[in-house]
Amino acid sequence: MTFDPLVIRKDFPIFERSIRDGKRLVYLDSGATSQKPVVVIEAESNFYRNHNAAAHRGAHQLAEEATEALESAREVVANFLGGAVDEIVFTKHSTEALNLLAYSIGNSPVGNRFHLQAGDEIVVSEMEHHANLIPWQQLAKRTGAVLKWFEVTPDGRLDLSNIDGVITNRTKIVALTHQSNVLGTINPLTDLVKRTHQVGAIFILDACQSVPHMPVNVGALDIDFLVFSGHKAVGPTGVGVLWGRANLLDELPPFLFGGSMIESVTMTDATWAPAPRKFEPGVPNMAQIVGLGSALNYLTAIGMQKIHNHEIAITEYAISKLQEIQDLKIVGPVDMNLRGGAVSFTLGDIHPHDLGQFLDNSGIAVRTGHHCAWPLTRKMGVPATTRASFYLYNTLADIDVLFDGVRDAQKYFG
């Protein structure tokens, strides 16, 4: 099947509407959240219409069907990532998944391999989203561990000139993003993972910006934990995924306590169900989880490599066009080596918020601000940027509209 974004767009009902008095929707904000194909919307709705009951509870047919739907989705996610079914934990979003890890690690008693003490080190980078920075920063404060980080070079790459100096024998956790949500940079993981394991630490990958956009296989990457968000991968909001190696999930203590995560309970004590159940207290977001299963099936049918290739082509075109514009400065790599489909830029003295508002008036949706990565925008020496991010439904024509919009904005504010 050939890849045609114009055919793909027909699967997404939102592209049938218009924006700001009849403009065509040019949606360049998939890095924030993706649009949803009709199969996902229907999967979610169908669950409520036909199968709604509390999964893993109840002795009736609907509860059986709800359980089956939930567990089928888990299998889809496991196959999508190349993990085992019991290694998939559903959370509310990837932010919760990262907090789950940080709190569970913080709860680990002496003798547990995750136990942290003063002087242990946690390694992140300057290009982390707040969701993969603050949980570790605060965990370090709570435990007396030391937070260290890889710096970012002026061209928007991780400075990996001294891996062995940053990841040391004291390192317990390395938590890095796979692809920067601001710069578009894809980080090379092989040496980082190797060094992490060499010192006996665990490697946590924030894959929010990679799993929706390229083939990602947890086995091939040899990582220990991975998180991603359903809503960035054409799935519903309200569902995130934590994947962890079975033996690590087994040793990691739970974070949230309550119903369904237990093995046995007395008035004074409790024991835990095996993973993934011990990390999933409360009735899960079943309809959304079912919708995520449908979303990943949809992406798989199209082909993750094809989606990635398409985004690379769009990004390359966008970078070459944007660079033609006077005073426009791309914040992040301009070469396509290890680079994904998020392009941030500044435009002379025109503030990103004003540019974003102007583009919106032409039907173009972009993100403006610091993109929940404030230390990174500070490091890059800009108060804020405008970001265009691409997905399977974007076309080269979208880039042309963006190009014209940016030039018109220069005339308007000039």
How far is 307 from 16, CA to CA, in rounded Å?
Answer: 22
Q: How many residues form the binding site for another protein (CB under 8 A)?
A: 18
CB of 369 to another protein, least distance (A): 4
Can 208 be counted among the known catalytic residues? no
Nearer to another protein, 226 or 402 (CB): 402
How far is 54 from 63, CA to CA, in rounded Å?
Answer: 6
Omega before 276 cis (within 30°)? yes
Does position 20 interact with another protein (CB under 8 A)? The reply is yes
Catalytic one of 8, 372, 373, 380 = 372
Nearer to another protein, 100 or 384 (CB): 384
CB-based contact 184:342 (threshold 8 Å): yes
The contacts found for 139-146 with CB under 8 angstroms, 24 or more apart, are: 139/102, 139/103, 139/105, 139/106, 142/106, 143/106, 143/116, 143/117, 143/118, 144/117, 144/118, 144/119, 145/116, 145/117, 145/118, 145/119, 145/120, 145/121, 145/172, 146/119, 146/120, 146/121, 146/122, 146/170
CB of 4 to another protein, least distance (A): 33
Classify strands 23-24 and 18-19 as parallel, antiparallel or unpaired.
antiparallel
Does position 3 interact with another protein (CB under 8 A)? The reply is no
Nearer to another protein, 321 or 407 (CB): 407
Interface pattern 381-400 for another protein (x via CB under 8 A): --xx----------------
Nearer to another protein, 9 or 387 (CB): 387
CB of 380 to another protein, least distance (A): 12
CB of 354 to another protein, least distance (A): 5
**How would you list the strands of the sheet with 328-331, edge to edge?**
328-331, 342-347, 385-389, 367-369
Nearer to another protein, 91 or 180 (CB): 180
How far is 293 from 73, CA to CA, in rounded Å?
Answer: 4
Does position 18 interact with another protein (CB under 8 A)? The reply is no
CB of 20 to another protein, least distance (A): 7
Tokens of residue 408, six digits: 């018109």
- Looking at residues 278 to 317 of the shown chain, list those that interact with another protein (rule: CB under 8 A): none
- Looking at residues 336 to 375 of the shown chain, list those that interact with another protein (rule: CB under 8 A): 351-354, 357-358, 361, 368-370, 374
How far is 347 from 301, CA to CA, in rounded Å?
Answer: 39
Which residues participate in catalysis according to the annotation?
372
Residues making contact with another protein (CB under 8 A): 20-21, 351-354, 357-358, 361, 368-370, 374, 377, 383-384, 412-413
